[in-house]
Amino acid sequence: MAREDENRGFICINCGANVCALTNGGYRNHCPVCLCSVHVDVRPGDRRNECRGLMRPAGLAYRRKKGWQIVHVCERCGARGANLIAERTAQPDDPVSVARLAGGLREIEPAVIGTISRRR
């Protein structure tokens, strides 16, 4: 599968947003508005998973080598996965939606919002 086929826009099945392909060299794998995803990959970018369940954002994770990621949980099969926060792209993830995932971790919210805002 060509990279252009793997990184393409879509209409979010959760909120209906028109989602553009990433312009930063990554793969678009979740809605930048509601942060939901669809369980489509076995390996990142392959689009070979047959589940096709809605994956809701469940929290944030920080990995030293990758940075901030959105943790998703599939409503259909329960699988968990993490996707990089989309930034430095024409349609970055909404910083308020990302900050809400921090929940009770109030000290993280300003850092997440500041990091995303500075990189636009």
Instruction: Give the Cα separation of 53 and 39 in Å (integer).
Output: 5
Predicted confidence at residue 46, as pLDDT, reads 82
Distance CA 90, CA 72 (A): 23
Per-residue pLDDT of the chain (120 residues; tens, 9 = 90+): 455 556 788 999 999 999 999 898 887 889 999 999 999 988 877 889 999 999 999 999 999 998 999 999 999 999 999 999 999 999 999 998 998 888 744 444 444 445 444 544
Q: What is the residue extent of each domain of the chain?
A: 3-118
**Cα dihedral sign for 31, 34, 39, 43?**
positive
Q: What is the pTM of this model?
A: 0.78
Cite the beta strand spans of the chain per DSSP E.
10-11, 18-19, 37-38, 54-63, 67-74, 80-84
